[in-house]
Every structure is written in C-alpha cells, then in structure tokens.
Structure 1
Amino acid sequence: MDLAMSTAFQPMTVGEIIDAMIKTPNPFYWKAFDGSTAGSPEAKYTVNINSPEGLSYIVTNPGDVGLARAFVTEGLTVEGEHLAHPYGIFDSLRDLYAQFQKPDFSTMAKILRSLGSMGAIQVQPVPEVERSSWIERKLRSGLSRHTKERDAEVISDHYDVGNDFYELFLGEAMTYTCAYYPEEDASLDEAQENKYRLVFDKLNLKPGDTHLDVGCGWGGMVRYAARQGVKSLGVTLSREQADWAQAKIEEEGLGDLAEVRFLDYRDVTETGFDGISAIGLLEHIGVDNYKDFFNFMHDKLHEGGVMLNHCITYPDNHKTAKGTFIDRYIFPDGELTGSGTITKSMQDIGFEVVHTESLRFDYMRTLRDWCENLKGNWDRAVQLVGLPTAKLWGMYMAGSEWGFEHNVVNLYQFVGIKLDDEGGRAGLPERRWWNDSVF
C-alpha cells in the first residue's frame, strides 16, 4: 500500500506546516486555502496561502526566492499594503527570515507526505516571469558571465520591458538612478536635475570639453552636459533606451553636441575625454572585472581628466550572494561590493581617488518617489506589463527603499583623476571644486 495513502497517516494542515518551519513569535498571521491558520491574528500583516503550489514554493525554497515565486504566481498574497509600494512589510520580512528553521528529519518527511496528499509534491513549474529570463539564459550554452553577448541579454531583459512602463514611475527625468535631493521635500525631477548638476560639477567640465557617459540609460546625463556646451557621448546596451534617448536629443535640438549609441562601452573608439561618468553601471560589471573596467576608463581620459563612478554598494566589502530575489528576478548577474573595494580598484590602476561620499538616504527618497509614482499609475502599469511583472517591480523597489534606509545597501560616488607622468593633476584644483548645494 502507498504509504501516502495509508489510513494511519494524518496529513498536516497548512497551518501546522508553517508552524513547523517558522519559530515563534511568527511575525505574520497566515491563512491557508484549507482553512487552517498559523501565527497570531494580532500580527500587523496577514499572508494568504492560496494554493498547494504556493505552499510548495515556500516549503521547498524557504527564503526570498521561494516567497517571491509564490508571490508572483498568486500562490501567496499579503493583506494591508498596496502592491506598488509594499514598504511596510519589510520589517516583518526581516523578522521572518530570522525565524525560519529547518524541521527535523521525521517532521520534514511528514511535511513532504502532506504536500503529496495535497497534490503539491511535484516539480512546480517555474513562473513565466522567471522562465523567460533567468532559466532560459542559464541554459544557453557558451555564454559565460559578463561576455558582451551575455551582458547584452541581461541588460535587455531588465531595461527593455518597455519605455512606456518606465515612464510611469521615473517621471519627466526618465532617470533610473539615485537622485540628489537639494531639499527634503524637493520633487523627484528637481532631485534628478540636481544629481546631474552634481556629477557635471564633480567632473569639472566646461563648455567645449568632451564627455563620455557609459551605461547612459535614457540619456539624461548626456543631455544635461550638452545643455552646458559640452560634447557628450552616451552608450547603452538597451536598444529601447538608445532609441528613446536619441529621439529626445533631436527633440531638444541638441544633436550637434549630444549622441547616444546602442553600443557596449568596450566598443567605444574615441579617446582623450575630459570627463567620464558611470552612473549605475558598475553593478553590472562583476567584481572580477573591475581592473579591466577601470583600466579602460583610465585609458579613455586625457591627463587631468576626471572619472565619476556612481554605484550601489554594500556597507562592507563582501561580495553579493547568488540566487537571491534581486539576482534571480531583477538584475541577473548583478554583483555588489563595498566602497573600499571599489576605491582600491580605482587606485590600483592609477586613479587618484580624491573624494568618495554616500548618498544612501537620497536613494531611499528616490525609491520612495518611484514607488509612489507606480502606485499612482498602477492600473496602467498592469495593463502594459502584466500583474506579475508590475508586482515584482513594486516589491523590489519598496524592498530597496527599506534596504537603503536600514544600511543593507548603500550608494556611493567616487571621483578619480588621471594624473600625468609626474603625478600632477594638469591644472585641476588641489581642493574640492564643486558645490554640494544640498540640505
């Protein structure tokens, strides 16, 4: 007789399974499709487990990936927060991850038999939003991490979800990187313009100079530099970004000074730039490739030229873990490290790093504003990209907002100078030459 069907076996309820996997106090109240519950009804948030499939994702991969799979497939829903800005749940999620426990062997066997009795103990299909990006790419033969071909696929997978979708939450600035708020109550567009002003000033650019922006997105930095009389070239691996940016350049009458190309930065042939900006690119490079990246940028500058690197970091100098929610669903092949590692990498190839600073709370505010914009345009977002993708963006942006507030991640800018053969700065000032102009 099949043991799973034995009359002596009493399947566990979903609530009992949750209780076996999460130590008390459980930070959520759980309600399940079989009518059972777990945790306290007094918990701030209620989690609904809507299907055996959703339960299976949680049991077989406890943590952020399993919860995300259940979330995007509607196997799990949370009461009490808007899907576009579920910021409040992340305090409870932090507590939940600390409370996960591995059941003993006999309990785990009973859990699996109980899943079997529900028809859930099988290989669950990978959610469509994941299968089309991560799994397919992983199975593609011959593409090592950070080859030109694979980098192009990864960037396209994230950024080519549709310009119309990004316009819903990025605002008029159409800028997908940390803003710099001149005042706490400044608008998102004001803060993005102030960020471009800060980068431009740190690069010490003047009318007639030349500028390269690698990983330029929709060309906001390029157009800002051109409006100041600087000849600016931007490159991006997203075709949709490049087409949008070039059309905007023509619309604003900046074609004589500004250009955005659909191009890998490694294929830029021009050299002798006065300034180079990399705003939100290093996260895609890979720590093992920093030496080659910064060498390339160093070679593209003339003596006395300045590079500004603006990127997300960890608060210390360890590498990112793989297989997490962000790596699997949002930025495949992304990798972070600490600001010390980045400073060392720039110094090791010859940059004099004259300034570093954290903009952590500015990114917290930026993400807050993006989430609120997405919330205000939620129905249109779901119409454009579908509910699973819209939910993912809301979850990852709200989670990132929480992460910046709590120093799980940080955002740094680094200013490096290419010195001449005698160690001189070719006329650059000895001390800081830019104005912060921030509260």
Structure 2
Amino acid sequence: MNNWLRKHPQVRTIRVAAADLNGQPRGKRIPTRFADKVTTEGTRFPFSVLSLDIWGEDIDDSPLVFETGDRDGVLKPTERGFMPMPWLDAPSALLPIWMFHEDGRPYGGDPRHALRAVLDRFKARGLTPVCAVELEFFLIDDSGRNLQIPISPRSGKRRKAAETLSIRALDQFDAFFTDLYDACEEMDIPADTAISEAGLGQFEINLMHCDDALRAADDAWLFKMLVKGLARRHGFAASFMAKPYEDYPGSGLHTHFSVLDQDGNNVFDNGGEEGTDTMRHAVAGCLQAMPGSALVFAPHANSFDRMVPGSHAPTGVSWAYENRTSSIRIPSGSHKARRIEHRVSGGDVNPYLMLAAVLGAAINGIEDGIEPPAPITGNAYAADLPQIPGDWPSAIDLFEKDPSVARIFAPELIRNFVLTKRQEVHYMAELTPQEQVEIYLDTV
C-alpha cells in the first residue's frame, strides 16, 4: 500500500477518511512520514463520529457519547488504498478507512460494513451483484443571494434554461468536464457517459458496472467528493442536493444491478424480455422494503421536495418494463444484460447505505421466493399505488420499525440513523428555506 506513496514523492500529506451515516468524510490529516503507522496499525476516533448530524454535531441522546464515555473505534484502511486528491492545490493523498471494534469485529454502525454484510448474504448463496450507478448533480453559482447557473467560461454568458441532452451545455463547461475525467482517471473512478439533464445547470455522469458492490459504492462516494471539490477550483459550486431549484426537476442517483452465479451467468436472464423467477423475487423484495427504506433514499429535509408526482422521481411503489415513471424499471435491450433499475434515490444519499438497502431488499426477496404484483403499464403517477413516504418524519418512523429494514441493517445502525435524523428534523425546523439550502448545498 505504501508503494503508492513511494511512487509519488511529491505527496507530503495524507487524509484518512471514513463515511459517516450522512456520507460525510470524517477523518484526519497526517504527514506522509507517519503513513506506515496508519497502514499497519490504523487510526482511532470515537464511534460517535460516524453518527454525527449534518452540521457535524454529536447526537444529544446517543448512547455512543456520554453513556459509554465516547469510546474509540479502530479505523483501518479499506482495500482501496491511497489515491490522489486532484481538487487540492498541494499534492495530497486520500486513504479511505472503515471502523472496527478493538477486538477486530466490524462496527455495525459503519455504512460500509452495512453493505459488506449484505454482500456476505449474496456470497453465501454463491451469488455476486453487478452494479452501476448514475449520478446527477448541479453546477451552481452560489455567490449571490439566489442560486443560478454559473457563467460559461467559454461564452461568458449565463444560459438560464434547461438543456436536456445538449452538447452545447456540456461544451459550455468543457474545461471543468475535461479536468473531471482526468481526475477520475487518476483516482481510478470509472466515469463513463456525461449528459446534460433537465434541470438548470444539471448534468449526469454514469459510472461503469462493477462486480464488486463495495467498490461501486466507493466510486460513488469518491466521485461526489471529487465533483464538489473540483467545481470550487473552477470558481463555482457543484451539488448533489435533491432539489436546489423549485421550478426544475431534482437530482437522482439511479442504480442498475444484475446478479451472477458462480459460473458467471446472469441469474436474471431467461433468454427473453420477461426475466427469470429470481429477477421477479428480487423485484418483490425491493418493492416490499421500499417504504421502510425511504429514509435511506431520501435522507434529508430537501429530499422530499424532489419526490412529487410528475417530476421524474417515483412516488408510488411499483415496477414495470421500460417505464421511467415506475420506481423499479426493467430496461429493454439484450437479454444477456437483463437487470433491475432502482430509481428512488436522490443524489443526496449515502452510496453505501443506498446500495445496502437496494441489494439487501433484493436478497430478502430472493431468499423468501416472493412474487411481486403485476408490472404496471402507462403513467405510474396516475395509478392507484401504495405510496413511498412523502415526508421526513414518516420515513424515520417507518425505517425504525420496518421488518424488511431489520433484516438488512444492524440494530445499532438503525438506532443511530434514527437518532441522527430526529435531531436534524428538530434543528432544521428552526432554519429558513434559504438557510437549509446553504447547509445542504456543500454537504450532501
């Protein structure tokens, strides 16, 4: 692992960072000369740090703080190893870490361990998920009182219009996207297609499919960090918040996944368009867990502004073939690539929790062999469907007590996430809408 540092002698400092429940990187800055200690022994900080609220404050009634003396966990490097941080001026390296108990047990409140535990259930059945994510984000000029699209470095103009699939919109920020793709190459993030989206200054970049879901979540987490940091170097903001503009669609984080058996066969592929029984069982599991998992897919106050009828964000629990109004879509195309697209999440999610919730629900359905309702046709918004929770407090309550969620996440993670979100609900109520946007713009 330290070979990377020896090959990059210009790097003088490293950051060690783990994802907290909100997906925020929490960690330390360390001089490179002390890297050996970190890579061999790990580092330490309190268990409570992975359960801070969106402002970075302790949770008032968390048992992790005063009740247990705010004890330390041990944080060890993930298999990802060192990577550059191209958004910083000084050459620096990032070392992703995750949390363990003193005796080496994984800490159940760590989002990355939550995903690992779900993948262990697939592995026990000889199965491997293959995942790809699509990340939408906004480029924003936040220098004034009102948010607006940045001035184009090429034209010097500010185009106040949505430009779906516009090459011109991409070319307006060519220098940013060129630097972004170069940085993804440096960080080994598999960035693929970029498009302009329907929102004001909104874009989407797809990450290539990966047969290691932990790595796919790493890529999404690192990509969000990179995009936000690099945008500031270009003089504007980038944000994955669910809905920064009232009059334009919000940002989603859609997930595509299939599942391979031990011989590398796609267990969703039956040679036709309809897919296998296993695919339907996975769909049924996703639908069953969807209301209870809504807090993962919409974790913030602003998240629910995106989830309104007719906004290209699902509001009902449904599945369909080749239908983007449904919450679960089975895309058309080659039967060999038969897969499930889960369309509920906003761009503001924690990628580890999101993939754990999606894949955990799917393995619930596969284990139980349950059947979904009939797929819908037409406009899902006009159909009489069970609804995804439409407000933050309801989503928190459901997450706390839903039996499907209890099969996916460790009890301590459920407790910590619920306590964190209830504290945020309390303090967000004291802020104006503009103050809420200010906190979410740079954090999520």
> Same fold by TM (over 0.5)?
no
TM-score normalised by L of structure 1: 0.24
- For the pair shown, the structure with the greater C-alpha radius of gyration is 1
